[in-house]
């Protein structure tokens, strides 16, 4: 993420991970390995953040680190997301603080992430429960993302700029606004 809290990223859905990993290896990308990410999405009590404003406070645990991030998707373009992220020391206590101040721990999520670095671009392969693997490119500029996409044979016109809450609903028919648990061991959808 760049210094002005603007997240510059793009996703490509339904990709062939083994073929793309082969291309990354041939390009000399650094393989940072795979991990399981667990997170909780928090919204305001009225759920306007989720249903209208496309805002979320995300508490995430990965590789022994815990991060708290505020994300606001204000435009469906590569740099259309404001993100402010900090590392916190305790997942459970941070969750308790967020609940005490009135935020709703709405959705528990898991995904498997395999991360590579190619120059200034981070390439994340994300696998959610029941959803085909996707690849996310994140970097300092849209041009750097376009360059890596081209090197990997990912047509820019197929790029997805919307947040996961939208593409999970519209492209995979997952009623994410009703999903309370979306993990590899359990999926819980409210009626």
> Over the stretch 30-80, which tens digit does the pLDDT of each residue have?
999 999 999 999 999 999 999 888 999 999 999 879 999 999 988 888 888
Neighbours of 93 (CB within 10 A): 11
How confident is the model at residue 7, as a pLDDT?
A: 85
Contact by Cβ (8 Å): 69, 58 = yes
> Over the stretch 100-129, which tens digit does the pLDDT of each residue have?
999 999 999 999 999 999 999 999 999 999
Neighbours of 73 (CB within 10 A): 20
Give dist(CA 130, CA 142) in Å, integer.
Answer: 30
Residue 184 has pLDDT above 60, yes or no: yes
């Amino acid at each position: 993420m760049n210094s002005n809290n603007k997240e510059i990223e793009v996703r490509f859905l339904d990709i062939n991970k083994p073929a793309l990993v082969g291309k990354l290896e041939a390009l000399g990308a650094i393989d940072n390995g795979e991990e399981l990410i667990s997170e909780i999405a928090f919204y305001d009590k009225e759920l306007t953040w989720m249903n209208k404003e496309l805002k979320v406070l995300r508490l995430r645990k990965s590789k022994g680190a815990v991060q708290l991030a505020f994300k606001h998707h204000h435009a469906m373009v590569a740099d259309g997301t404001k993100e402010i992220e900090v590392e916190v020391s305790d997942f459970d206590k941070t969750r308790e603080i967020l609940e005490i101040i009135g935020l709703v721990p709405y959705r528990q999520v898991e995904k498997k992430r395999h991360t590579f670095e190619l120059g200034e671009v981070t390439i994340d392969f994300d696998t959610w429960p029941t959803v085909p693997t996707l690849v996310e490119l994140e970097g300092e500029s849209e041009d750097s993302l376009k360059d890596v996409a081209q090197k990997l044979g990912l047509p820019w016109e197929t790029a997805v700029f919307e947040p996961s809450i939208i593409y999970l609903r519209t492209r995979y028919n997952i009623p994410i606004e009703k999903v309370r648990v979306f993990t590899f061991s359990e999926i819980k959808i409210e009626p």
